[in-house]
A and B are shown apart, each in its own frame.
Chain A
Amino acid sequence: MPRYPMAIWSAAIWVLMVSAVSGQDPDPLPYPVGAVILEVSGDIAVGNAKTSDGGWLARFDLDMLDALGDSSFRTATPWDEARTYSGPAGSALLDRLGAGGDSIVADALNNYSASMPRSDFTIRGAILATRIDGQPMTVRDKGPIFIVYPFDSRPELNRTEYFKRSVWQLSRLHVE
């Protein structure tokens, strides 16, 4: 026993260092191929471009968003009857970008802007819907991205507060 501690310690330190380095080196984000429909900036660890002030900027086309997974659900909204909304979960996007921060500012093509806490994505299950009933969304149909909350499965979300955070024609997210 007294002979081995040194060897064991060095092995353990190697394992720790390797795992730490690999943990700090995230999957690089690919470059968008199609039309960019979402830009994410602010407190993120991964990106595929730089902003003017030197921070990461993550630019997504529809394929890249689809790659984040699909969390679809069916719900009615104050503006429409029950429809099936599909797209990545908000939390999946935050995880993919290693995003920190407590709140997210969502800007839309129509100059609309709303701020929401990070927990709306991580706990309340808001998704970045890219399709309605399986069809990609046009601007006339609240596209290209619509932040939707599961209003039907969580009745407590049927409040003005959450209706105002349901940003449609979403084009940019800023994590703070």
Chain B
Amino acid sequence: MRRVFGGFHWSTVLLLILSAAAAFTAGGVVVHVSSMESRLDVLYSKEASYSTNRLTVELANFERHTVLALYEDPSYPPRADYRLWYDILWNRLDVLANAPIYRTVPDFADQADQIDRMRTLHASMEPVFGLSLSDFRGARTDIQAYFAAFDEMAKQAARAGDMVRRKMVQDFSARLHMLYLLLMALVAIMVMSFGVLLFQLMRQTARSEAGRRRMEELSLSLENALLNARALNETKDNFLAHMSHEFRTPLNAILGYSEFIAVDAGDRMAARYREYAGSIHQAGSRLLEFVNQLFDLSRLTATGFQIQPVPTDVVALLRDARALSLAASPADRSVRVHLTVTPDPLVLEIDPRALTQLVVNLLTNALKFSPDGSTVDLEARTLKGDRLRLSVVDRGQGMTEAEIANMFDPFWQSNGTISTDARGTTSGGLGLHICRQLIEVQSGEYTVTSAPGQGTTVTVILPAPPVDGSRPQTPDTAEAPGKIPVGNQAATAASRA
């Protein structure tokens, strides 16, 4: 929803403002029109029309009472009433003459003029109407002339007023008409604005809908590609695992027979051929080591390494691992491994196979790079939070930071610059990569500190909860993958000596 309403185009906002302004103006127009009507109502209905009508009524009453008095109607007791009506008419003419409309609206000038003339005429009759009743009757002709003239003037005033009023009403309705047209235009603008707004909103919604559909298609195809890639990878790993087995069978034959030639048939052969047999055995050993590591790696990646922590006697396990590593190193090497375990004895919940392979690989690597007569320290220590810290310290040539960054990558040592290093290693370069995999599947972590000429320290920290009171399981090192190269690596590091 936010996407639909959040992305208003500026024109939409403008339309909203416009329609709000139109609505406001329309409201103003309505208020103005109604106030105009009420103002006109007051001015015209009350003043002009009403008062003129009352003038006619009061004049008729005055005339009636005067006629009754003139002709001595005996059934008309209050004989002086004509004088009251004279005064009433006087007041009416005053009111009309003072009415604001005649003073402020120029169109009423004619009517105002007539009213003034009526006032003058009316006032001039005051002496006549002030006479005693008998004298008053003698003035009959004057009175008749007065009424005739007054009647005429009143009619003219009414006509003048009517004309003005009609003109004003016309003006007013024309103005009203214009205002209504304006109002209609505003309403039309409002309606159109809302139409455009609605259209924009719908278009925006449709657009975002199309975008969403395209994203869905894209993610679906990405998912398919990922599945394909996974399937391909799996095929590759299966192939590698299978091939490793296929490699080892002929290799064992080569190794066995070359050793046999070098040792048993040595006396019957020229020294030159014995050397050749030694070279074949040495090369075969390297190849087997590499194939074994390849096998381990492909097994790890193909099936995933199943970690099964069981109560394990860490001290015994590390001793076995040391023995395996030393046995795998060339017989002419005089590197010692110093083992420290704190505390001792130490029984932890950990996968013995993974731990053995990890330690053997790390130690084998350390031994390779240690100069003769030096010592490799293998130290195990428990940490707070149920963790085990392993550190392998060699006194080799050490590495630069760039080398440390790469050392756990597969085939790193086959890199040309490294293989020509003074270490002279020709190992397959998969051992440390396997180590990293083993650490990662156990949710462990590792650090490497090293500097050229100062040796290398590899520290691994693995989660390993302690075991209380249960008998440790003897590590089944016979099954450990680390054992596979044993006895077949006698000549692996011979060139390093």
Contact = CB atoms under 8 A, between A and B. Distances in A.
B280 interface: no
Contacts of A158: 42
A139 B88 contact: yes
17 contacts: A78-B42, A78-B99, A78-B100, A79-B95, A109-B84, A109-B88, A110-B54, A111-B57, A112-B54, A139-B87, A139-B88, A139-B91, A140-B87, A140-B90, A140-B94, A159-B38, A160-B46
B119 to A, nearest CB: 12
Contacts of B85: 110
Contact of B91 (A142, A160, A164): A142
Contacts of B95: 79
A50 B87 CA distance: 30
Contact of A160 (B41, B54, B92, B98): B41
The 9 closest A-B pairs by CB, nearest first: A139-B87, A140-B90, A110-B88, A140-B87, A79-B95, A140-B91, A160-B46, A163-B46, A160-B42
Given A78-B42, A163-B42, A169 B91 contact: yes
Nearest to A137: B91
A109 B90 CA distance: 13
B61 interface: yes
A164 B94 CA distance: 18
Contacts of B42: 78, 158-160, 163
Contacts of B47: 78
Interface in A131-176: 138-142, 158-160, 163-164, 168-169
A80 interface: yes
Contacts of B99: 78-79
B64 to A, nearest CB: 11
A164 B88 CA distance: 17
Interface of A: 78-80, 109-112, 138-142, 158-160, 163-164, 168-169
Nearest to B99: A79
A141 B91 contact: yes
B57 to A, nearest CB: 7
B379 interface: no
Interface residues of B, number: 22
B45 interface: yes
Contacts of B46: 78, 160, 163-164
B58 interface: yes
Contacts, number: 45
B41 to A, nearest CB: 6
Interface in B28-70: 38, 41-42, 45-47, 54, 57-58, 61
Contacts of B61: 110-111
A42 B381 CA distance: 117
Contacts of A140: 87, 90-91, 94
Interface string B297-312: 0000000000000000
Interface of B: 38, 41-42, 45-47, 54, 57-58, 61, 84-85, 87-88, 90-92, 94-95, 98-100
A138 B57 contact: no
Contacts of A141: 91
Contacts of A159: 38, 42
Q: Which of B41, B58, B91 has the most CB of A within 10 A?
A: B91
A168 B85 CA distance: 14
A158 B41 CA distance: 12
A26 B54 CA distance: 41
A158 to B, nearest CB: 8
Given A163-B46, A164-B46, A169-B91, 20 more contacts: A79-B98, A80-B98, A109-B84, A110-B54, A110-B85, A110-B88, A110-B92, A111-B57, A111-B61, A112-B54, A139-B87, A139-B88, A139-B90, A140-B87, A140-B90, A159-B38, A159-B42, A160-B42, A160-B45, A169-B88
A82 to B, nearest CB: 13
Contacts of A110: 54, 58, 61, 85, 88, 92
Contact of A168 (B38, B91, B98): B91
A163 B54 CA distance: 14
A111 B61 CA distance: 9
A65 B98 CA distance: 29
Contacts of B87: 138-140
B124 to A, nearest CB: 15
Nearest to B83: A139
Contacts of A160: 41-42, 45-46
A168 B95 CA distance: 11
A80 B84 CA distance: 22
A78 B98 CA distance: 9
A161 to B, nearest CB: 10
B158 to A, nearest CB: 18
Nearest to B81: A109
A164 B50 CA distance: 10
A141 B90 CA distance: 9
Contacts of A138: 87
A33 B479 CA distance: 142
B107 to A, nearest CB: 19
A164 B46 CA distance: 8
A42 to B, nearest CB: 24
A79 B98 CA distance: 6
Contacts of B90: 139-140
Contacts of B38: 159
A139 B84 contact: yes
B94 to A, nearest CB: 7
A134 to B, nearest CB: 19
Q: In this complex, which of A112, A138, A139 has the most chain B Cβ atoms within 10 angstroms of its Cβ?
A: A139
A132 to B, nearest CB: 12
A112 B47 CA distance: 16
Contacts of A168: 91
A2 to B, nearest CB: 73
Contacts of B98: 79-80
A140 B92 CA distance: 8
- Name, among A112, A138, A140, A164, the residue most crowded by chain B CB atoms within 10 Å (CB to CB): A140
Nearest to A110: B88
